Copies of this chain bind each other. A is one copy, B any other.
């Protein structure tokens, strides 16, 4: 996907679900939840794929990695499939998450992951700004940076989010790892170095914009040379006509 790629060491311990599939499961989950709320009881791979913006064969193959939860000639029972996906991605686990850096971005994240019960619980908001420390955001009190290790230990958090300026990212990362965090979501525009066994995913707003700008530029050049581009809905990338 597009997309950002996480370094994943160690896998295959269970039944090896491809990374590309894992990246799509949350989308299926969200759409299925929406369908369930709409009272839909059964759905075919074509219908579901349409709404999720993917190929129906891809969707079926993705689901087949979890098991055979469909019924031939009928489709998938929404509630059952939803349950199976939720179980697979650890939806019900309520993972404790610590967010470091409570600027606008950290704030947005706190509200996002904290409000809807998405399987996460914000157990720590941490910032070095004395004006922020002590405030309560999304029901959680902001703690000082020096308490980072304490907060993590208190809740046995294993997932950390870095929403600090780039200059602080590596230092924060090191402290997270030293405290036992093994999964990190990094929003700072910097490359993090971590020991083996730690999973880092990077989301870079600037990079995303620049990728769009690149495609936009290609399109402009394409117009100049008389090329047209066609593309349907989701998924990035431009067209390459032979």
Contacts and interface: CB of A to CB of B under 8 A. Distances in A.
Interface of A: 2-4, 6-11, 13-15, 19, 22-23, 25-27, 29-31, 51-53, 88-91, 93, 95, 97, 103-105, 107-109, 111-113, 116, 118-120, 158-159, 161, 182-185, 189, 191-219, 221-222, 225, 227-238, 240, 242
Contacts of A91: 210
Pairs of residues from A and B, 4 with the lowest C-beta to C-beta distance, nearest first: A104-B108, A10-B229, A13-B222, A90-B217
Contacts of A222: 10, 13-15
Contacts of A228: 197
A194 B183 CA distance: 34
A52 B236 contact: no
A207 B26 contact: yes
Contacts of A23: 2-3, 207, 211
B209 A185 contact: yes
Nearest to A183: B212
A240 B51 contact: no
A145 B119 CA distance: 33
Indicate how many identical chains form the complex.
Answer: 2
A233 B183 contact: no
A191 B31 contact: yes
Given A11-B218, A89-B210, A203-B205, 20 more contacts: A4-B208, A9-B229, A9-B231, A14-B221, A14-B227, A15-B240, A53-B191, A53-B192, A91-B210, A113-B206, A119-B213, A159-B209, A196-B232, A196-B234, A197-B230, A199-B219, A199-B231, A199-B238, A200-B234, A201-B236
Given A13-B221, A229-B9, A27 B207 contact: yes
Nearest to A111: B104
A192 B232 CA distance: 11
Contacts of A11: 218, 240, 242
A23 to B, nearest CB: 6
Contacts of A161: 209
A208 B112 CA distance: 12
A9 B228 CA distance: 11
A241 to B, nearest CB: 9
